[in-house]
């Protein structure tokens, strides 16, 4: 099924209603030009255009009546169009799709097998892994936990994001840190900057350790998710990867899709309030009602948020 993009928050989904912000996504039907493009691909259009030009030359250079010329031209369009379409749809297009799929499969195999990380996952504790090795380990368990289109970015110049992954239409930018001590502010700052660079909805710092108090405060302020050692062990267990490392005695909690939505909510509110302010700059009551319906909030909560934004714009 074709993926649609929410006009409000930018989330990709195959559903008619955005699961993140509740916005209705209208899938426009194909126009006539799109249908013509589907049944008459570019090679067929070129062949038909050349035949029409050639038939014009025949009309001018030879002794043919206009009716004969029309018959010859239409006959040529049907014959050459049918032959070109058959070659395009039954030979060239399937071959191109097959080559593309083969290329993608080859890249993925090369991507994950260059250093044969997979065999080492069951033999080596993640505490003993090197930085790039830990990134591939995290990418592997993310895939096995239901994340899609998982991609490890290049080692140098990664702009603060080591892995890009999707789940339920939300794009995650993940920075991986395999350290021997707890993670501080720098990793949170880098992940937050990388989220903007890669156009992600949510930034994450994923580590084999825990986070300092200062890092937690900064992450909460900037909407960055912190996945610590407990989260890593839970995901590794779900992926069927046995680790011989021990888990520190802390609350074992799973960060799910609802937490990602919670992190994104202030940014969604801000974008939608901008739209409402442009549409109803002098009609605050209408803006409150629209905001309440779109964000599934009570009128009292919506009034507080809308009033705060409108007052800040004065």
pLDDT tens-place values along the chain, 314 residues long: 456 667 666 666 676 676 666 666 654 444 445 555 556 778 878 888 888 887 777 777 767 677 777 887 788 788 887 888 888 878 887 777 777 655 544 455 444 444 444 445 545 577 778 888 888 889 989 999 989 999 998 765 668 899 999 988 888 999 999 988 899 999 999 999 998 888 888 899 999 999 999 999 998 888 889 999 998 888 888 887 765 444 444 443 444 555 665 666 666 677 777 778 888 888 888 888 887 887 777 888 888 888 888 888 77
Quick one: which of 220, 169, 149, 174 has its CA closest to 21? 169
Q: How far, in Å, CA of 261 to CA of 296, rounded?
A: 14
Q: In this predicted model, what pLDDT tens digit does every residue of 3-31 receive, in sequence order? A: 666 766 666 667 667 666 666 665 444 44
Quick one: which of 215, 276, 212 has its CA closest to 8? 276
**Pairing label, strands 12-13, 148-152:** unpaired
Q: Which two tokens stand for residue 266?
A: 């202030």
Q: How far, in Å, CA of 234 to CA of 163, rounded?
A: 19
Are the C-beta atoms of residues 176 and 206 closer than 8 Å to each other? Answer: yes
Long-range contact pairs involving 244-252 (C-beta distance under 8 Å, separation at least 24):
244/125, 245/125, 245/126, 245/127, 245/208, 248/210, 250/210
**Distances in Å between the alpha carbon of 150 and those of 124, 145, 163, 183, 228?**
22, 11, 7, 24, 19
Q: How far, in Å, CA of 299 to CA of 304, rounded?
A: 9
128 Cβ partners below 8 Å, 6+ apart?
none
Per-residue model confidence (pLDDT) at position 30: 46
Cβ-count burial 130-140 (b if 16+ within 10 Å, e if not): eeebbbbbbbb
Per-residue model confidence (pLDDT) at position 226: 92
Are the C-beta atoms of residues 140 and 112 closer than 8 Å to each other? Answer: yes
Per-residue model confidence (pLDDT) at position 110: 46
Q: In this predicted model, what pLDDT tens digit does every residue of 243-268 receive, in sequence order? A: 544 444 444 344 455 566 566 666 66
Backbone angles phi, psi at 280, to 5 degrees: -130, 70
At 170, is the secondary structure helix, strand, or coil?
A: strand
């Amino acid at each position: 099924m074709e993926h649609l993009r929410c006009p409000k928050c930018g989330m990709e989904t195959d559903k008619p209603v955005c699961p993140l912000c509740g916005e209705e996504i209208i899938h426009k039907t194909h126009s006539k030009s799109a249908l013509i493009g589907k049944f008459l691909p570019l090679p067929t259009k070129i062949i038909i255009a050349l035949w029409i030009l050639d038939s014009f030359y025949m009309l001018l250079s030879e002794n043919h009546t206009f009716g004969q010329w029309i018959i010859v031209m239409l006959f040529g369009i049907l014959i050459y169009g049918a032959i070109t379409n058959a070659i395009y749809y039954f030979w060239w297009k399937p071959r191109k799709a097959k080559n593309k799929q083969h290329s993608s499969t080859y890249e993925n195999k090369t991507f994950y097998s260059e250093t044969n990380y997979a065999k080492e996952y069951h033999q080596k504790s993640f505490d003993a892994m090197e930085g790039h090795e830990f990134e591939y380990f995290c990418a592997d368990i993310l895939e096995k936990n239901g994340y899609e289109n998982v991609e490890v970015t290049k080692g140098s110049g990664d702009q603060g994001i080591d892995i890009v992954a999707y789940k339920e239409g939300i794009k995650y930018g993940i920075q991986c840190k395999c350290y021997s001590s707890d993670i501080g502010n720098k990793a949170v700052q880098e992940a937050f900057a990388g989220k903007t660079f890669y156009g992600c909805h949510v930034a994450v710092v994923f580590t084999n350790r825990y986070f300092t108090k200062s890092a937690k405060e900064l992450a909460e302020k900037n909407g960055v998710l912190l996945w610590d050692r407990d989260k890593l062990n839970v995901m590794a267990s779900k992926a069927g990867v046995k680790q011989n490392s021990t888990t520190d005695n802390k609350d074992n909690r799973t960060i799910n899709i609802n937490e990602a939505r919670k992190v994104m909510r202030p940014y969604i509110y801000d974008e939608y309030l901008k739209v409402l302010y442009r549409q109803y700059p002098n009609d605050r009551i209408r803006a409150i009602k629209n905001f309440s319906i779109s964000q599934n909030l009570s009128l009292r909560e919506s009034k507080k948020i809308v009033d705060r934004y409108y007052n800040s714009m004065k």
